[in-house]
Every structure is written in C-alpha cells, then in structure tokens.
Amino acid sequence: MGNRRKFIRTAGLATLGAMSLPQMLKGRAKQYSGGPGNESSIPLVLSTWQHGLAANQAAWNVLSRHGSALDAVENGVMQTEADPGGQSVGLGGLPDRDGKVTLDACIMDHFGNCGSVCFLEGILHPVSVARLIMEQTPHVMLAGAGAQKFALENGFKITELLTGKSRKEWENWKRKSMYQPVINIENHDTIGMIALDEQGNLAGACTTSGIAFKMHGRVGDSPIIGAGLYVDGEIGAAVATGHGEMVMKTLGSFLVVENMRRGSSPLKACEEAVKRITEKVKDYEKGQVGFLAMDTKGNYGAYSIHKGFNFAIRNQEENELIDSESYLP
C-alpha cells in the first residue's frame, strides 16, 4: 500500500444517535495536512501491523456497542494473543533461546491507571492479567513467577503456548546457532493498540512474546509504561513496536505523547520520537522501531525508522491497513 489519502469522515447515524453535539463535532475533527490518513471519526481504534485488522475488529465489536476504550483494547489484543498463527504474540509466539515462550503486556486508561506483566510464562491472556493488576492491586507491574502466581490465584489457567511450528523454528535456529536479526523479517510484530471511544476517552494495550530467541529473562519495551505504551487522557495515546531496547533508551511512547502536549500532531510527534532514536541510539539503522499515535480528537499518525511498518485503522467506515512514513527508505 503506498501513499495514503487524507480523509475526513463523519460518524454514521447509529453512532451519532448516542453522541452529544460536542462529541459529534469531535467526530468531525479535521486538523492538519501533510501526513497519511490523519483524521478520523470517532470511535476509532488503531493497532500495529497486519494482525491489527482482526484485533481492531474485536475492539470495534466493543466500541460500536457504546463500550469503553479500555474494554475495547483488552478485547482487541486478546484476539491476537489467542491466535496460534501469529508468532510474535501469545499463543504460538516464538520462544527465547531456552525454548520458553515468555510474555510482556500492559494496559492503560485515560485516568493514567495502568497495569503490566513481564517475563510471564504459560498464560494465554497476559493483557487481562495486566488489567487485573491495574484494577485489584496497589502495584503497576508483576514479573515472572510472581505474575504467574497472581494469575493462577485469580482463575487463569496454565496453557502450553509453544506450538509445534514455533518449536521447529527454534530447533532450526539452535542448529544454525546464530543471532542476527534482519530488519522487518525478524519477529518484531508486537500488537500495540490505542482506542478512542464515543465518550472521548482513550485507552491503550500492548502485548508480545518479544524478540524471537532473546536471552532468557529479557524484557522489552512493551510492558514498560512510557516505553511500549503511554496514554494521557487529556492529550493522546501512543504505542511502539520494533526493537524494544531502542524504545526503552528513549522512553519512546511517553516522548510521543509529550511531543503532542507541546503541540505536535500525532504524525509529527511520532517522527520526532524516531528522530530522537536516530540522534541518541548507536547503530539505530540496524533495527526497526515504529510509533503509532492518536490525540483526543481522533487525529492520528505513525512513523518508523525504516519503511515497512504498517498499522490498521478501524472506524465507522473502514478497517484497513496503512503504511507509515519512515525516516529511512
């Protein structure tokens, strides 16, 4: 998919029925030009990569029934977590060097409430564990065995996440015994999702099995609030995908939201965060990072280091994939 058209959508009648006038006006937000597909009606949900199409649909099932952005993003990314065909998230995810599938996930609402799990094994829906931590504990993040214990105590069941296909790939990898990720081919297809509901509330979620064949115990950006995901209900929301280490070194998603706070459009804010990586992180061109952002009006944008990052948008009118802009060709 090449260049994207700008579009201005108006909400459909079913949605308008449930909206106040200010919400209707919000739903017609038009702001800037100069970027691909950057204005949308609300409700709106965006998520990273091609698997975002199915995930967005699951989120849309919530949003279109007047549900909250928080319920939508959880429901949306659960779809990807449960899909054994995807090898970068949840069930079927590629394992670490020791053959273990270890999961990172987080969730955040428009009040700034957040929950997170990392280095979690054997649980099908880490995002739901993250939400439970957010809602039922005084903490933000639980890790490893402690996170699993908390999940089991709260009714989650142990699930074998390593599929035959992923085991085979790990065995092949071990035979070659090399670790040389290749841009856009390696396993960096985290699902990061951000949504804006008809009340004008934002939420986001991020879930991944992380970089394939990582060191056992490695945790990436995805469960780190401010790195893989950040939501400020008064400004906007952002998610990251790609080399977690580069995102963590620059606290990328927080930076995107702060850029929006200072007046940048979502697209510009993502571009500025990518530029920060190019300025601060050595060998940045050897990796890929993409940011995806929206503001409280339903304006959105995405930007990556290398060409090849795409995201899915679902609103009243469409569910489709859009190529991001990039720093390098």
Site of interaction with ligand ASP (CB under 6 A): 88, 188-190, 208, 210-211, 220-222, 241-244
Residue number with CB closer to ligand ASP (118 or 231): 118
Between β-strands 191-196 and 141-143, what pairing exists: parallel, antiparallel or unpaired? unpaired
Least distance from C-beta 10 to ligand ASP, angstroms? 34
- Catalytic residue, chosen from 15, 190, 208, 241, is 190
Alpha carbon distance 233, 133 (integer Å)? 20
Q: Which is nearer to ligand ASP, 126 or 233 (CB)?
A: 126
Closer of 29 and 78 to ligand ASP (Cβ): 78
Residue 47 CB, nearest approach to ligand ASP (Å): 12
In angstroms, what is the minimal distance from the CB of 227 to ligand ASP? 9
Give the containing element (helix H, strand E) for 164: helix 164-176
Nearest to 39 by CA among 81, 2, 59, 10: 10
Structure tokens at 284: 């940045």
Rounded Cα distance, 238 and 226, in Å: 9
- Alpha carbons within 13 A on the beta-carbon side of 303: 26
Burial of 99 (0-12, 13-18, 19+ CB in 10 A): middle
4-37: burial string, b at 16+ Cβ within 10 Å, e else: beeeebebeeebeeebeeebbebbbbeeeeebbb
User: Minimum distance between the CB of residue 137 and ligand ASP, rounded to whole angstroms?
Assistant: 24
3-state SS assignment for residue 325: strand
Shortest distance (Å) from residue 148 CB to ligand ASP: 19
Q: Is 190 a catalytic residue?
A: yes
Looking at beta carbons only, is 41 or 208 nearer to ligand ASP? 208
- Closest to ligand ASP by CB, 29 or 219: 219
- Report the length, in residues, of the chain: 329
Enzyme catalytic residues: 190
